Amino acid sequence: MYSLLRKRGTGAVDPLILKRAETTQKAHKVELSQTKEFKRVHHVSGGGDGLLHVYDLQQEGRPAQIEPIASVATQDRHSYAVSSVGWFPFDTGILVSASFDETVRIWDTNLMEPVTTFDLGAKVFCQAMSPIASHCLVATASDNPHIRLCDIKSGASAHTLIGHTGSVYCCVWSNYQDHVLYTGGEDGTIRVWDIRKASACLGSLDNENAEFTKIETNRAHQKAVNGLVLTLDGSSLVSLGLDERIKRWSTYDHRHSRTHYAGSGVRNHVRHNCGLAVSDTDVWPPLVYVPNQDHIAVFDVNRGNRVQKLCGMYGRPTCVDVEGLDVYAAGVEAEILVWGPLPPFDSEPGIEETTVYEVVLDRHGVAQRVPKGKGTHFIHVTKHNETKMVEKADSGSFPCPEPTFQAPMRWSQRIHPKQPEQAELNPTLHEKEAVSPH
């Protein structure tokens, strides 16, 4: 990162590249937040008691607990657990919730009262609204092989998509085609729909990349599909199945990318929607967040390697969401946890434990560790392997650069740029003089 900053200072690097590199680095190093905690954690969005609560995540200051700013009255709540909830993309005054009480409700968030109720006659696992469409259709996945499209404007069911042979657990709208819908269900298939057509099912994804239109024989997973999420650029679809496999699909040619998600170890045995999430557009390559037993597993979408394991939950997480660089996860233990980027090293003096070494700088600017009391500078190393060098108060007039390195400092690392004439005379001098910390 330090070299990238220098290149940006000389104009050799585009500012977008620097921003993306910094954001990606922060997204790869999130930890359980010490400053955000939900006071009524089992009512954050929707809970097993059927209630809905709205929280303001942008509160000023550093609140120890985030309290709800609006709540649904007890007499208006769902009869059974809330399974899915989401904002209307173009108006924060409208909230949509789905529940195991076989209904989907449209809420006025100013009054926190239901204005429309759709009775679907089966447990509803998931609801989804298009982030780009001009229509007001809510797609629903339920304990029924049919996908119902509910029209908010008319208050009636506008269309029914028929094709699955069992319960449908998840659904998601395309990010770049407002009429395209993806669904996954008990039959192990991921179907692609065009809601404008009478024969709405365009095709089905196949693990072996068979012909897309072979709807009856194609299978995406060996068992039920209960998790779907699209990357924010709309190029990839990530799916999760009860076969405990994570798969990535191209939304352009509908082919399986065969990305191997190494060491995933995902435990997925619950027959309802598993809420997945993807990282912000400034993070590249994109990350996918997968609920798994008592933690959230974070994977690189393109490469498949596991980037991080977000721990701290006492029970199985049921869903995860991402807001900027903050990660929010809800679980069966009526809790919501927040993970955020690591704070800057010097933003909270004393809040992190550090290891301090004394060093001296040779004539080439190389830091060499020395016994206590003999050094001219201190090097502070945090538990996250971030380092910072500061000059001792009584060290005289030695020059003191103060870079903060994102990677652990090597004791043979050069602090000052070496002079060309010195490098030509003795190119290995700094390696000989460097002293190992061990």
pLDDT tens string 102-143: 999 999 988 889 999 999 999 999 999 998 888 889 999 999
Quick one: 374 and 283 in the same domain? no
Quick one: 50 and 73 in the same domain? yes
- pLDDT computed for residue 5 by the predictor: 64
Quick one: 366 and 332 in the same domain? no
The answer to whether residue 346 is domain-embedded is no
- pLDDT computed for residue 348 by the predictor: 47
The answer to whether residue 16 is domain-embedded is no
Is the preceding peptide bond at 437 cis, omega within 30 degrees of 0?
A: no
Chain segment 258-283, per-residue pLDDT in tens: 998 876 578 888 889 998 999 988 88
Which residue has tokens 């229509």? Answer: 135
Structure tokens at 18: 């620097």
The CATH number covering residue 213 comes to 2.130.10.10
The answer to whether residue 13 is domain-embedded is no
Portion of the chain with pLDDT greater than 70, in percent: 78
Quick one: 335 and 378 in the same domain? no
Helix (H) or strand (E) holding 355: strand 354-361
Number of domains the chain is built from: 2
Cα–Cα distance for residue pair 126/171, rounded to 1 Å: 7
Quick one: 166 and 219 in the same domain? yes
- CA 230 to chain CA mean position, Å: 12
The answer to whether residue 114 is domain-embedded is yes
pLDDT tens string, the chain, 438 residues long: the values are 556 666 666 666 677 776 777 777 777 767 766 556 544 333 447 888 888 888 877 665 555 677 788 888 989 999 999 999 988 888 778 899 999 999 999 999 888 899 999 999 999 999 999 988 888 899 999 999 999 999 998 888 888 999 999 999 999 999 988 899 999 999 999 999 999 887 889 999 999 999 998 888 999 999 999 999 999 988 999 999 999 899 999 999 999 999 988 765 788 888 899 989 999 888 888 999 999 888 899 999 999 999 898 988 888 888 899 988 889 888 887 778 888 887 665 444 444 567 888 888 887 777 888 888 788 888 888 766 777 788 876 544 444 444 444 444 343 444 344 444 444 444 443 444 444 444
Q: In terms of DSSP bridges, do strands 306-310 and 295-300 run parallel, antiparallel, or are they unpaired?
A: antiparallel
The answer to whether residue 323 is domain-embedded is yes
Quick one: 395 and 278 in the same domain? no
Neighbours of 236 (CB within 10 A): 21
The answer to whether residue 348 is domain-embedded is no
Domain boundary (317, 341, 365) is at 341
Whole-model pTM: value is: 0.71
Cα–Cα distance for residue pair 150/152, rounded to 1 Å: 6
- pLDDT computed for residue 70 by the predictor: 84
Quick one: 320 and 238 in the same domain? yes
Domain boundary (341, 371, 397) is at 341
The answer to whether residue 312 is domain-embedded is yes
Nearest to 245 by CA among 234, 256, 253: 256
Cα–Cα distance for residue pair 316/310, rounded to 1 Å: 13
- pLDDT computed for residue 365 by the predictor: 75
Cα–Cα distance for residue pair 30/17, rounded to 1 Å: 21
Quick one: 237 and 358 in the same domain? no
- pLDDT computed for residue 203 by the predictor: 93
- pLDDT computed for residue 350 by the predictor: 46
Quick one: 286 and 171 in the same domain? yes
Quick one: 255 and 169 in the same domain? yes
Domain boundary (341, 368, 400) is at 341
Helix (H) or strand (E) holding 155: none
- pLDDT computed for residue 408 by the predictor: 42
Cα–Cα distance for residue pair 186/146, rounded to 1 Å: 12
- pLDDT computed for residue 432 by the predictor: 40
- pLDDT computed for residue 323 by the predictor: 85
- CA 403 to chain CA mean position, Å: 30
The answer to whether residue 347 is domain-embedded is no
Quick one: 328 and 227 in the same domain? yes
- pLDDT computed for residue 36 by the predictor: 60
State the residue range of the domain holding 231: 29-341
Quick one: 259 and 382 in the same domain? no
